[in-house]
Chains A and B, each alone.
Chain A
Amino acid sequence: LDLGSAKSQGLVGEQPDGYLGVVQPTPDAVGLAADINAKRRAAYEAIAQKNGATLDQVAALAGQKAIEKTPPGTYIKTPNGQWVKK
């Protein structure tokens, strides 16, 4: 299961906090999200370190960008926690 198809099948979606959220908790989706989020956290940490920002600031900015770039028809989580299709 790769990220692209997981998104198009509505299993996972982008969240404002910068991490991938599980919409349909199938084992594959949960496993994929955990793996992706670990890699994202490491990448955010590196950016935060390099620029003297905090991890949360980097993650929040990445979340905002990810939501903006989400293609219509795939899931995003609204600031108050609902999953909606863009």
Chain B
Amino acid sequence: CTPRVALEAPKEPITINLNVKIDHEIRLKVEKDVDTLSQDKSLF
């Protein structure tokens, strides 16, 4: 028989838990503020 050398990959997988929350607040808050600003008849 021929010697067989196998480099065993590590058995146990690494488990990673990753939680991501994306917030689009900034751009939409700016738009809300600009909307209220544009109601000001003395400025627009």
Contacts and interface: CB of A to CB of B under 8 A. Distances in A.
Q: Do chains A and B touch in the complex (CB under 8 A)?
A: yes
Interface of A: 3-4, 14, 36, 39-40, 43, 47-48, 50-53, 57-58, 61-62, 65-66, 69
A51 B41 contact: no
A3 B35 contact: no
Interface stretch (B2-10, B11-19, B25-33): B25-33
A58 B34 contact: yes
29 contacts: A3-B42, A4-B41, A14-B44, A36-B43, A39-B43, A40-B43, A43-B37, A43-B40, A43-B43, A47-B30, A47-B33, A47-B37, A48-B30, A50-B33, A51-B29, A51-B33, A52-B26, A53-B26, A53-B30, A57-B30, A58-B30, A58-B34, A61-B30, A61-B34, A62-B34, A62-B38, A65-B38, A66-B38, A66-B44
